[in-house]
């Protein structure tokens, strides 16, 4: 019984499952202001189907950790049932979630009780006006209270995902880091990728990892963290006080565009409508919904998944063409519809 190996020798052990394409924010780098044509309920995985796919992934395909994402996973009313179902069958597998944090305060205790072990909350700024500009919603206080509640619930570490946008929050890297260190959240900057609905991304205009490091280095000393990176997308740095050299915490930088880590990628993705995507930037998908609903066996589904992953491209969805370079074609789905 083999796992999810590809023809370039990588093995996927980390599953990202999108539970829904809808979201209650409209981040500029992800969604258009008016939203998208949402999936119909019947076309989305039910809670039982999510639990079955997770079981197949763990029992037959060697998946070791699952991250639930979206769209906004907390928009799904049955999120607690999904977590509880997967956790009951496989308590050894770490379940995590990437969320925008809205309504987290209200839901966190039930989520943790159901088996949620780790959380990433997306927060690009602590300035209310900038938050409203990026997300097109005035809801910063809801995110902050969600983060606070996650800490009170004992989740550790709590990671923050931040994207910097030229002309909006591109000067706020050090400020956001200072705030994260003070509140004991582990900040990770993610380079903006061409996965926005508006197709506004350009390689020339994005904020690069090098630029983020330079900005932070004006305020703190950054040194490479000693733990080997492995297949983790974030390059981790220790953050030190410039005068005392005291280590204040860490910061991660995910340089998906300028310093891609495709060779070490260990991820497989399932969209909310049950398509396997072997890469964020894939132009092909493999449907599992038909098999889930036509009486196919778990092994049939596992085989289709294996086959999809065998064809995982070497790099960035289209064999070696760098993001935004001549020949690069942005995938049709936005980040929200893939599951980041
Ligand atoms: N709604 C949840 C959230 O925002 O955390 C989960 C889904 S969101 C698509 C997952 C992550 O993708 C977020 O951290 C978000 O910042 C990131 N993301 C979305 N669009 C992106 C883009 N174009 N480039 C880089 N990261 C992006
Ligand atoms: Fe929604 Fe997350 Fe996309 Fe923002 S990044 S619009 S919160 S799915």
Give the C-alpha separation, 332 to 335, whole Å: 10
pLDDT of residue 192: 96
- Contacts for 68 with CB less than 8 Å, ≥ 6 apart: 17, 18, 19, 79, 82, 83, 95, 96, 97, 98
Report whether pLDDT(319) > 60: no
Quick one: average pLDDT of 181-185? 98
In the reported structure, the alpha carbon of residue 31 is separated from the centroid of ligand 2 by a whole-number distance in angstroms of: 7
The pTM for the full model equals 0.96
Q: What is the pLDDT of residues 201-217, one digit of tens each?
A: 989 899 999 999 999 99
Residues contacting ligand 2 via CB (< 6 Å) = 23, 25-27, 30-31, 70-72, 100, 122, 335-336
Residue ranges and CATH numbers for the domains of the chain are 4-338 (3.20.20.70)
pLDDT (tens digit per residue) in 227-278: 776 777 889 999 999 999 999 999 999 999 998 889 999 999 999 999 999 9
Instruction: Please state the length of the chain.
Output: 340
Euclidean distance between CA atoms 205 and 29, whole angstroms: 13
The alpha carbon of 107 is separated from its chain's Cα centroid by a whole number of angstroms, namely: 20
- For 186-202, how does the pLDDT look when each residue is reduced to its tens digit (9 = 90+)? 999 999 999 988 888 98
Q: Which of 19, 22, 38, 72 to mutate to test the pocket of ligand 2 (most atoms within 8 A of CB)?
A: 72
- Residue 189's contacts (CB-CB under 8 Å, 6 or more residues apart) are 162, 163, 164, 173, 209, 212, 251, 252, 253, 254
The enclosing H or E element of 301 equals helix 298-310
Distance 71 CA to ligand 2 centre (A): 6
pLDDT in tens, 138-176: 999 999 999 999 999 999 999 999 999 999 999 999 999
Residue 331's Cβ-count burial label (10 Å; 0-12, 13-18, 19+) is buried
Pairing label, strands 267-270, 4-5: unpaired
Query: Among residues 36, 69, 102, which one has the least CA distance to residue 272?
Result: 69
CA 30–ligand 1 middle distance (angstroms): 7
Ligand with minimal distance to 323 CA: 1
């Amino acid at each position: 019984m083999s796992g999810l190996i590809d023809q370039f020798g990588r093995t996927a052990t980390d599953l990202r499952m999108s539970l829904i394409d809808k979201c209650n924010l409209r981040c500029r780098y992800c969604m258009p202001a008016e939203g998208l044509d949402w999936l119909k309920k019947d076309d989305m995985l039910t809670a039982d189907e999510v639990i079955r796919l997770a079981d197949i992934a763990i029992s037959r395909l060697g998946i070791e950790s699952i991250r639930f994402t979206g769209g906004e996973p907390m928009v799904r009313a049955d999120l607690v049932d999904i977590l509880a179902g997967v956790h009951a069958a496989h308590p050894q597998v770490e379940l995590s979630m990437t969320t925008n944090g809205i309504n987290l305060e209200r839901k966190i205790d039930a989520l943790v009780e159901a088996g949620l072990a780790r959380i990433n909350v997306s927060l690009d700024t602590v300035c209310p006006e900038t938050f409203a500009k990026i997300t097109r919603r005035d809801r910063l206080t809801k995110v902050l209270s969600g983060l606070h509640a996650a800490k009170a619930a004992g989740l550790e570490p709590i990671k923050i995902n931040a994207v910097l946008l030229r002309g909006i929050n591109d000067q706020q890297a050090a400020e956001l880091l200072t705030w994260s260190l003070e509140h004991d959240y582990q900040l990770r900057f993610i380079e903006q990728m061409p996965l926005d609905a508006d197709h506004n991304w350009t390689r020339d205009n994005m904020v690069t990892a090098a630029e983020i490091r330079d900005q932070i280095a004006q305020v703190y000393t950054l040194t490479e963290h000693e733990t080997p990176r492995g297949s983790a997308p974030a390059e981790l740095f220790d953050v030190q006080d410039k005068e005392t050299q005291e280590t204040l915490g860490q910061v991660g930088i995910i340089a998906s565009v300028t310093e891609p880590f495709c060779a070490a990628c260990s991820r497989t993705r399932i969209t909310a409508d049950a398509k396997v995507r072997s890469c964020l930037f894939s132009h092909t998908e493999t449907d599992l919904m038909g098999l889930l609903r036509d009486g196919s066996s778990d092994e049939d589904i596992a085989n289709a998944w294996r086959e999809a992953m065998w064809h995982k491209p070497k790099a960035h969805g289209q064999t070696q063409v760098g993001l935004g370079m001549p020949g690069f074609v942005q995938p049709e789905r936005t980040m929200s519809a893939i599951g980041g």
